[in-house]
Structure 1
Amino acid sequence: MLKGIPVSSGISIAPVVILAHAAPSAPAQTAPADTSKELELLARSVEQAREQLEKLREQTEEQLGAEKAAILSAHMAFLEDPAFVGEMSSLIENKQLAATAAVQQVSDQFVGLFESMDDAYMKERADDIRDVSRRLIRNLSGTDEEAVFPEEPFILAAWDVTPSETLQLPLASVRGIVTVKGGATSHAAILARSLGIPAVMGAGEQLMEKVSAGSLLILDGATGDLIVSPDTETLARYEEKAAKEAAERAAYAALKDLPAETTDGHRVHLMANMAVPEEADALAASGVEGIGLFRSEFLFMDRSTLPDEEEQFAAYKQVAVAFGDKPVIIRTLDVGGDKHLPALELPQEDNPFLGFRAMRISLARPELFLVQLRALLRASAFGRLLIMFPMISHLGQLREAKRLLEQAKAELREKGVAFDEQISVGMMMEIPGACLQADAFAKEVDFFSIGTNDLVQYTLAVDRMNANVADLYSYYHPAVLRLISNVIAASHRAGIWTGLCGEMAGDPLATELLLGMGLDEFSGAASVMPKVKERIRNTSMEKAQQLAEQVLALATVEEVVALLQDKTE
């Protein structure tokens, strides 16, 4: 059995088709006989790439919607970036490199930059660079690598799969995707999820050693398991598992339009987390009640320059329009820690998670913060947007953020620009100090959203990115649970609501516990929310409250997990 990163759930069983390209190798960097000719070749290749991407973008928009097509617009933006194409021209002129060598060298530099970053999303932006660069080199060399796929069911195996290649897969016959490289936040992975294609990525170089064209492969997109040429017993077991999964999907589909309501009539709201605008279409159709967390930083991170107000407005408006009257909570810029932003030139820090990040940056750079606030306010005229401030630890920070929001409103009013005058404002509860002072904060905002990912690491002093202490990281730790309970209780005393947008919200084992604590909104990956809804609809609020009371009296993670498992069996 092989193991990879599960990126799109579902079980697939089908023969393998191998995508022809392997790990790209750098062309020989020979000095061109004619520099001007190489510059002309590069310019022609860039223009050809624009035309190709625009054609594919139009086809994608027609067949799959504007949100998925927007990924290709992002690729086209690379072709306008002076730090990308401009650097290629500079290498041809100043280093006398051939156009293909210049493209490869700049591509390698950008790929290396992104892959060296700690943040998973930033690492996987390297795939977008490879996509554009591969297209440029293909145009320069005059080769055509357009793949031809069978009409019969197949699983695609490849070294990597670019977003444009994913968009060109035949949905009628592709049953799954497995790659040597890649991960859960790559654009190809996002597309696979939105297109409903089971996928496992990052399976390692052993993948290509084990599979061959025509091999029967079992792919489990929920666990990352890959079984090549399964025996009869294994094949039968997975066929049964696939059938059961299909039946569960059908059952969840029947719940799609039903409320997240307990058997005794208590209603909560199920939302989805969202990273990029391209996900809006699929999420809006998934049955979730809105977006509980839109991570706006990803508009800033895949580039060498900051997005201006118009670009941000267009992205926020796109999401607002997609969801109509459903709420969309947009978190203001949250960078620093494990999220690097080259355009801001943030200082290197010994303890970045405890340093200059998130709201601390926004308040230190109000000219940038006001641009984002104006863009958010303008977009609020096109849907039901809510604004959420991250990483608040002091009441003064919250008040200053709200003051700047009022300044942005005044600037728009002066220009006669429409926005939602009653826009709701909330804050992330992810710092223990803020959770302990929740009563004071609750008087100043319209809602709380608990970010368990950071709350756990700050409460338990555990770096969630460090494998050496991973066993100490758990949102079932009694101290974390008591902070969550305190925040929810404080919000209800103040007459506001509390949501939770960390991984815990999508964990069915935690559903009844959070429900019993009084959580008003759950926001997680859209793929797991149907299971959460099923749990909610099959329990009573009275039973959930009794469970929460029992759990909050326990002293260890092991005791908490054991009790929850016993109660859900």
Structure 2
Amino acid sequence: MKKGIPASKGYAIGRIVIKEESGLKIENTYVSNVSEEKARFERALILSKKQLEKIKTKTKHQLGKGKAEVFESHIMLLEDIEFAGAIELKIEKEHINAEKAVYDIVNLYMETFKLMKDEYIRERAMDIKDVGDRILSNLTGNITSLGNLSSNTVIAAHDLTPSDTVQLDKNKVIAFITDLGGKTSHSVIMAKAFQIPAVVGMKDITSYVKNGDLVIVDGVEGIVMVNPGKELVEKYKIKIEEYGIEKEKLKSIINLKTVTKSGKQIKLLGNIERCEDVEQVIKNGGDGIGLFRTEFLYMDRDAMPQEDEQFEAYKYVLEKMKNKPVVIRTLDIGGDKKLSYFPMEEECNPFLGYRSIRISLDRKDIFKVQLRALLRASVFGNLKIMFPMISSVEEFLQAKEVLKECMEELALEKREFNKELKVGIMVEVPAAAINADEMAKYADFFSIGTNDLIQYTLAVDRVNEKVAYLYNPMHPAVLSLIKTTIEAAHKNKKLCSMCGEMASDENAIKYLVECGLDEFSMSPQSILKIKQFIKSYC
């Protein structure tokens, strides 16, 4: 049995097909005719773009516009003057072959991305590799393929690029397992869209299995069993059947309200990172969006998104949700979330430093662009604005003052916006929870961000494996702060929701319901499971 990261849930029993690495040997060859070598590179670039356009069209048809945007970013890299220019300059200055120039520049880009602390940005190194491999394949004619697969195939790969994943025959591929990868990689996003199990980050699975091996992939626990006995196979056949039945059962409660045994109605909302994620909230019967992490609009690009671009993104989500509440959190960067085009000084304690609302209040030029876009979009649905990492009333009032300035500007420009929209705070700093009674006099609503609240309360870095065991959502101090926050909100006749991981933790749900939490916001895929749990046990 091998352990990895459970990246896409489900179970599968199938035969292994190992995706062979291209095995390209990049040699450093001196070229005398630089113009011809640059022309070779240019032809490979054009061919790569044509191939990606076809893949993008296929993805849009199969999975929707949102998933196809992955390949739009690949095309943008091919069109990037700096990227192509760096390769051509290397050919020209060093008189080297195009393959070597592409290989060196792609690796330079990849290393830069891999140094980023934010997991999502680190995972984008795989996109750079995908584009680089495509150019190299077109230069050399060495094309790898996952065609002609049999039914019930489990793909084992060192890593899968987005191009690899989207071209898999979903009628034959029932799961994939990889040596590398994390939960935020594009290939995992694709696997979830195809609804096939995936276990990633297994380190050496490609050297542990061989073609034709029978494997069980457990995408719930993140384990892979190679050549299991009949008894284990039968056990997992039952699991697969039960999992399918459970999914169908959950579909039957999509349109039902989430009501406790005592008759209290609970709202279950979805957390989203990108506009296209709204489809999953709708598909799973979410009562709204409890957290739209807008920083992802700022990532995977080379400049700040402008007002009109942000306006279109917010408008899209609001219109899709019709009049259901949509809580949009303003930019929350810093800590482990960096932007390549927004340099920040290194800090000893970045999670306690220049981040989140502190950056927004310091850089009002950036803040106001977002707030103007939000205000303009507010007429298209039930928008609520939420400020992150608020630690004092004064800080919250400063943020509201900037919002007021934006309202005045838009009024002078005769642009429409909702003058009565609700403005709240994310309670994720212990100071805000302890002072919740005072905070509630000024905020229209609270949303408890348990990920950071627990981390700050217990002084535990949850991603540090040496101390992660101390990260305990059910610690008495954490529960006390949560209860204090909910009581303060209700005392002041304000709504209180929760948008951290704890909102979908079955160990915590009963306590949160008893405390009177009004709304639970979670990953869209968790909504139906938590709805069933509340209806059955609370």
Q: 1:562 — aligned with what?
A: none
Unpaired stretches in structure 2, ≥5 consecutive residues: none
Matched, 1:223 2:225: no
Residues 313 and 134 from structure 1, CA distance in 2 versus in 1: closer, same or farther, beyond 3 angstroms? farther
Q: 1:190, 1:279 within 8 Å by CA — same for their partners in 2?
A: no
Runs of 4+ in 1 over 4 A off after TM superposition: none
Q: Which residue of 2 aligns with 1:9?
A: 9
Shift of 1:330: 1.9
* Aligned pairs for 1:85-164 within 5 A: 85-150=84-149, 152-164=151-163
Q: Does 1:28 align with 2:27?
A: yes
**Corresponding residue of 1:374:** 372
Q: TM-score, normalized by length of structure 2?
A: 0.95
The 3 A distance-change label for structure 1 pair 327 and 35 is farther
| Secondary structure of the structure 1 residue equivalent to 2:111 | helix
Could you say what secondary structure the match of 1:84 adopts?
Answer: helix
Q: 1:506/1:214 Cα in 2 relative to 1: closer, same or farther (>3 Å)?
A: same
Structure 2 vs 1, CA of residues 25 and 151 (structure 1 numbering), >3 Å: closer, same or farther?
Answer: closer
Q: Is the 8 A contact 1:9 1:198 kept in 2?
A: yes
The 3 A distance-change label for structure 1 pair 459 and 275 is: same
Paired residues of 2:63 and 2:193 also in contact (CA < 8 A): no
CA contact (8 A) 1:387 1:424 kept: yes
**Deviation (angstroms), 1:505:** 0.8
Distance 1:526 1:149 in 2: 34
**Structure 2 match to 1:507:** 505
Distance 1:377 1:44 in 2: 46
Once residues 161 and 40 of structure 2 are traced to their aligned partners in structure 1, the CA distance between those partners, rounded to angstroms, is 24
Tell me what 2:338 maps to.
340
Residue of structure 2 equivalent to 1:176? 175
Tell me the equivalent position of 1:548.
none
* Total equivalences in the alignment: 538
Q: Which amino acid aligns with 2:144?
A: E
Does the aligned pair in 1 maintain the 2:457–2:478 contact within 8 Å? yes
SS at match of 1:263: coil
- Alpha-carbon spacing, 1:439–1:32, altered in 2? closer, same or farther (3 Å): farther
Alignment CA distance shift 1:153-1:357 (3 Å): same
- Kindly state the Cα deviation for residue 265 of structure 1 after the two structures are TM-superposed: 1.7
Q: Secondary structure at the match of 1:79?
A: helix
Question: For the structure 1 residues 58 and 8, does the alpha-carbon distance in structure 2 shift closer, same or farther, using more than 3 Å as the test?
Answer: same
CA distance, structure 2, for counterparts of residue 43 and residue 312 of structure 1: 34
Contact 2:177–2:198 under 8 Å retained in 1: yes
1:129 maps to amino acid: I
Partner of 1:325: 323
**What is the CA-CA distance between 1:520 and the residue it aligns to?**
1.0
Quote the Cα distance in structure 1 between the aligned partners of 2:342 and 2:496. Answer: 32
- How has the CA–CA distance of structure 1 residues 299 and 99 changed in structure 2, closer, same or farther, with 3 Å as cutoff? farther
**What amino acid sits opposite 1:243 in the alignment?**
E
Once the 2 structures are TM-superposed, how far is the Cα of residue 458 of structure 1 from its aligned partner?
Answer: 0.7
**Does structure 2 conserve the Cα–Cα contact (< 8 Å) formed by 1:512 and 1:535?**
no
1:537 aligns with 2:535: yes
Is residue 2:18 matched to residue 1:18? yes
Q: CA deviation at 1:132?
A: 1.7
* Counterpart in the other structure of 2:354: 356
1:471 equivalent in alignment to 2:478: no
- How far the C-alpha of 1:45 sits from its partner, in A, is 2.8
Alignment deviations for residues 441-473 of structure 1 (CA, whole Å, 9 cap, x no partner): 212222111111111111111122221111111
User: Could you tell me how far apart the structure 2 residues matched to 1:441 and 1:229 are?
Assistant: 58
1:156 is paired with a residue of what secondary structure? strand
Change (3 A) 1:241 1:408: same
Show the counterpart of 1:70.
Answer: 69
Counterpart CA distance in 2 for 1:139 and 1:383 is 47
Q: Which moved more, 1:107-116 or 1:513-522?
A: 107-116
Counterpart in the other structure of 1:241? 239
Range moving further from structure 2, 419-428 or 252-261: 419-428
DSSP 3-state at the match of 2:271: strand
Whichever residue aligns with residue 265 of structure 1, its letter is G
Question: Do the aligned residues in 2 keep the contact of 1:65 with 1:281 (CA within 8 Å)?
Answer: no
Aligned to 2:308: 310
In structure 1, the gaps of 5 or more residues are 541-569
- 1:28-67 to structure 2, matched below 5 A, reads 28-67=27-66
RMSD over equivalenced CA pairs, Å = 2.0
Residues 259-279 of structure 1, C-alpha deviation per residue, up to 9 Å, x if partnerless? Answer: 111122211111122222343
Distance 1:458 1:399, change over 3 A: same
Which residue in the other structure is 1:438 paired with?
A: 436
Q: Percentage identity across aligned positions? A: 42
C-alpha displacement at 1:89, in angstroms?
Answer: 3.0
Equivalent position amino acid for 2:334 in 1: G
- In structure 2, C-alpha distance between the alignment counterparts of 1:25 and 1:118, rounded to whole Å: 30
What is the match of residue 550 of structure 1?
Answer: none
